A and B are shown apart, each in its own frame.
Chain A
């Protein structure tokens, strides 16, 4: 049986990649993908602990996260399309109408 630490380390690596690209990347779609990456890293820890403690709660929670992520993807992509149509760009540094 694979020790739980491996799962957690993998999840931490995935999460770090996610947060790193979330902060660094300028393309909205890439930022969006990095958010999905962080969500899935969290899902991985849920599943790992559910397996470790033989409890169903963690797995149920994963389903919730997946539903929310799907809904978020639908809404988020719609927003991104709308932004692209109006501004012809996906660079977040140029989407700064609120600045000052």
Chain B
């Protein structure tokens, strides 16, 4: 494949964005969806072509560079794309899952106002995400990084007439800015120390100096981590992701589960050469990952909104990926990134299908007994739940277990490794618990929704949720469905494909201990070679295959315990858990999300608002800005009141001024002439 075709991969979705963004308002809905799908399908085919090239030759590295983008003495940056095996996996996930979600959206959004706007934004997101994963230098990566943030903002606030959606969009944007600030500082440090932002130059320089350990590399790594924590919703910057659920469900699936939020993990993996030189930074990554994983999992246990459970679950799973990165198990982290993209996209889309079936209801307390009513959604979601719970042989088991095993075997700091492993294991149990809780509350038990009033509820909920989307066409089309209804096939087909991927997706990474050969890790060897080989050698000595089997058995056991606990409390004896703990302080603490939002509001938001009001509005705006305006206006007016007298409107006075002017010029010239001689 000609490397120049790489430009097409991101540019085509951008073309789709331009067409739909400018002409979409006038086009028919099928045309809008067709354009968006076409400009997503072609990049997916190009990626498939890349994969076929890779499979036929066994390995693939490819790069393409434009002419100079920024050139100043001593520093220059190009538009440059590079493809290696890590990029190939990301490209496959982004274009593949992205394409499926585009198909789903064509059905899900069918009755919404702003159809063209939605698809234009979605294509814009694809463009920036592909730039992000293809970028061959930090600056271009940053362009994609900011761009996906923009697309995320636009799509979270898609129902912009609703205050909570507009605020959620703002919150996501502002919190991400904090992370981006760290990323920017990291780039400045890189420029200062390496004089280049190209991945190749920087990593080659690091590799060429084995003596560089810690020091400024730690600073760069920690600042990059701040950026990654913002984008990937890690502690302490995770607060935007649960609120981002205000966006349409396909957006939650594509941006806030499968692709954009994994950009932080991708970035850490991409810059692993820097992280490898800083044990401190790696430990921080691992600790933040593990802490986020368990923190978000506990909150996820008590949420009632089906999408919020999934949102906290996403934060928690991203924590696993960071944990994997932090113990230098980058390929395991990327493996989990990929399987997570499959099963979490599936879960979100299935949740969207449930919400669609209940005409907009998101509260699990008002669901239940949907198993028979929407069987396809039920079965596909079951695959997703089992996959994320970590029960073999579905995808989530292999990737999560790989991370846990590598954490346990973390040789740089065995004590920390064991501790984080225990946290990860506990999180696995909690994950299983809250996912099966969601599953039972949604599909099992009695029907807690009021079917007779569902049409009304639909009208109320939809009107409440997105007033702009409640047009005449929507009403008539929904009157055809009476009560609960299965989604159309355009939505179910992507669900089935993702369910299949969630089931078999993990088989490419079966570890040797379980009789596989871990193709996935070998596939990523060219990228992570130096790290993984050293790690493997140590692991072989430290932890035998039998140990790995024991650990796998333990984590499966924990997942099953989580399942059975959920089964007891949400299927056999529903309500007992709430009756027992509903009023306890611990429950309230967790149900209120540890009051993190309130704490941020009190310590950061309110002081900023008050400071702005007193200092910026009271002093800078009113005194400095307005004051200088008033003073200059007064001076001008004073001057004008004098000079206005010259403009009397009387012709003879003009003649007089003319004569005076001529006389002054004459005198001045005479005087200067006399002075010179």
Residues of A bordering B, CB below 8 Å: 19, 22-23, 26, 31, 92-93, 95-100
Contacts and interface: CB of A to CB of B under 8 A. Distances in A.
Interface residues of B, number: 8
B286 to A, nearest CB: 83
A98 B649 contact: yes
B215 to A, nearest CB: 78
Interface stretch (B121-129, B275-283, B651-659): B651-659
Interface string B637-664: 0000000000011111001100100000
22 contacts: A19-B659, A22-B655, A22-B659, A23-B655, A23-B656, A26-B652, A31-B655, A92-B651, A92-B652, A93-B650, A93-B651, A93-B652, A95-B651, A96-B649, A96-B650, A96-B651, A97-B649, A98-B649, A99-B648, A99-B649, A99-B650, A100-B649
A19 B649 CA distance: 20
A23 B658 CA distance: 10
B420 to A, nearest CB: 86
Interface in B544-565: none
A35 B444 CA distance: 106
A94 B650 CA distance: 9
Per DSSP, are chain B's interface residues mostly helix, strand or loop, or mixed? Answer: helix
B662 to A, nearest CB: 8
B226 to A, nearest CB: 67
Top 6 closest pairs, chain A to chain B, by CB: A99-B649, A98-B649, A92-B651, A96-B649, A96-B650, A92-B652
Contacts of A19: 659
Nearest to B662: A19
A100 B648 CA distance: 7
Contacts of B650: 93, 96, 99
B649 A23 contact: no
Nearest to B651: A92
Contacts of A97: 649
A33 B650 CA distance: 20
Contacts of B649: 96-100
A98 B646 CA distance: 13
Interface in B464-522: none
Contacts of B648: 99
A4 B659 CA distance: 26
A70 to B, nearest CB: 22
Nearest to A22: B655
A93 B652 CA distance: 7
Contacts of A93: 650-652
Contacts of B651: 92-93, 95-96
Contacts of A31: 655
Nearest to A97: B649
B441 to A, nearest CB: 83
A34 B392 CA distance: 111
A85 to B, nearest CB: 18
Contacts of B656: 23
A95 B651 CA distance: 8
Given A92-B651, A99-B648, A100-B649, 14 more contacts: A19-B659, A22-B655, A23-B652, A23-B659, A26-B652, A92-B652, A93-B651, A93-B652, A96-B649, A96-B650, A96-B651, A98-B649, A99-B649, A99-B650
A99 B649 CA distance: 4
Interface in B359-396: none
Nearest to A98: B649
A8 to B, nearest CB: 14
A23 to B, nearest CB: 6
Nearest to B656: A23
A95 B659 CA distance: 20
A97 B650 CA distance: 9
A92 to B, nearest CB: 5
A23 B648 CA distance: 16
A48 to B, nearest CB: 18
Nearest to A24: B652
A62 B656 CA distance: 26
Contacts of B655: 22-23, 31
A23 B651 CA distance: 10
Nearest to A100: B649
B583 to A, nearest CB: 82
A86 to B, nearest CB: 15
A78 B305 CA distance: 87
A99 B655 CA distance: 15
Contacts of A100: 649
B45 to A, nearest CB: 75
Contacts of A92: 651-652
A98 to B, nearest CB: 4
Nearest to A95: B651
Contacts of A22: 655, 659
A26 B653 CA distance: 12
Contacts of B652: 23, 26, 92-93
A84 B490 CA distance: 85
A32 to B, nearest CB: 12
A22 B648 CA distance: 18
A98 B652 CA distance: 12
A68 B655 CA distance: 20
B620 to A, nearest CB: 42
Nearest to B663: A19
A15 B650 CA distance: 24
Nearest to A92: B651
A82 to B, nearest CB: 15
Interface in B618-677: 648-652, 655-656, 659
A31 B649 CA distance: 17
A95 B654 CA distance: 13
A14 to B, nearest CB: 16
A92 B651 CA distance: 6
A5 to B, nearest CB: 17
A1 B649 CA distance: 49
A75 B506 CA distance: 94
A99 B654 CA distance: 12
A31 B656 CA distance: 12
A88 to B, nearest CB: 17
A99 B645 CA distance: 11
A66 B39 CA distance: 75
A23 B652 CA distance: 7
A22 B654 CA distance: 11
Of B650, B656, B659, most A-chain CB atoms within 10 Å: B650
A93 B649 CA distance: 10
Interface in B180-206: none
A96 B656 CA distance: 15
Contacts of A23: 652, 655-656, 659
A99 B652 CA distance: 12
B614 to A, nearest CB: 48
B110 to A, nearest CB: 68
